[in-house]
Amino acid sequence: MARHSLVGASAMHRWANCTMSPSLIATLPPPLQNRSSRAAEEGSSAHRLADLGVQKIVELGDARRDVLDIPLVGTRIAQLVESRDWEVVGNNPFTGQPLAGESDVDLAGNVFVCDEEMEEGVRLYLENVIEAIEECTGEVSIRPETVCYPIFDDDRVFGTSDCVVFDHGSGNLWVLDFKYGRRLVSALGNPQALFYAAGAIEEFPTHGGATVKLVIVQPRGEFADGRRISDCEYSVAHTLAWVDDVLKVAVKATQVPALAEYKVGSWCEFCPAAGVCPLMQKEALRAAQEAFADDLETLKFEDIPDVELILPDPSDPTQLAAALKIGKVVKIWADRVQEMADHAAKTQAIPGFKLVRKVTRRQWADKDAVLGRLKDEGTYEGGVTVSPKSPAQMEKSGALSKEQVEELSVKPEGALTLAPESDRRKAVEPAIAAFSEIE
């Protein structure tokens, strides 16, 4: 899974479309961090399994293909409480060695369980890594997830490649990238893959006539040729020229405000600076001024659902297309503003709003203990791997009594969020209000 420095990220998203000045980056408030989603987090969990698999390939040597027979279904992956990195809960499925205990991970957050689809996807990626190794003619260097620096003597620009294979015999490189999402990503001219390739060139003793093969493995997609991988080949000289002509130019644009260029596009969806981006603010304000008939300054929050909107003509496809684009921009901008406001409200009051806890549902403290109780009640015989229904469903069905459900379940504390003052939930005081001033 790719991770980048701020300078690297601004260049990595879309060199041809968006650059950001360092002065803007320096003023980003704490909540503006790289965004995620459940789909992205599922990809991160699959990446963790894939990386462990590459490490096992290195360990196995000539018996590397044995890695494809190791069962992965049922493996749980969650975020570590401290670092927020994704880790296997329990033992490494490839080695059997312990990785993370249940107290080390956030079991209240997203916990992904490897199913047959994820297992097949990880194996497809590992098979392509093995094929790259088997194409080598001399000694082979294999790098699992590794930080790379594509610009010589500039450690501000870096990223983490999924896997790099180097053939010391020919000087050729393979740069493999694992994509578990469904949106197709082509390897042809792919700036992210070229970025990693340039970093590998800086590490290994290659030469200008050698080749760099970019391989993007996407098990949940299908390209025009029917394959689930996209690959292309460039010379090392071509890759280095791309660094000079494209990457360095983009990095320079992040350092000189006059060169900064802002363009709205699909890449804005995950940009951590969308809430303070000048172009996003301009587009959102323009859309609001055009769409709302009421005065936003005097509009009460609870009256927003009744605002009269100036909508596009439904019979005019051009107007509808323009309105859909505006709506997407406004939504992205509003989401980022909400994040900023939620963070700010922890230390200061926001007029007309209050800080409250999100509503949470009961969950089992220990599912094995629930199954044990069901065995005692004679409703579960064991022998088959199952997961108990939710506490509410179990109580409603009568499988467990209300007292038993209360004993075996917990209700996690909800995350903090902003709500209008009219919200029925009890307000949580900002942290600053808990302290009194002293001389």
pLDDT in tens, 299-322: 666 666 666 555 677 788 887 887
Average pLDDT, the chain: 80
CB within 8 A of 280, min separation 6: which ones? 264, 268, 274, 329, 332, 333, 336
Mean pLDDT of 229-249: 93
Per-residue b or e along 348-374, where b marks 16 or more CB atoms closer than 10 Å to that residue's CB: eeeeebbbbeeeeebebeeeeebbebb
Q: What sign does the CA torsion over 194, 198, 203, 205 have?
A: positive
pTM (two decimals): 0.62
* pLDDT-based confidence at residue 46 (cuts at 50, 70, 90): very high
State pLDDT tens for residues 102-136: 889 888 888 999 999 999 999 999 999 999 999 99
Which of the two residues, 145 and 362, has the higher pLDDT score? 145
Mean pLDDT of 404-427: 80
Q: Could you tell me what percent of the chain has a pLDDT over 90?
A: 37
Give the DSSP letter of residue 102: T
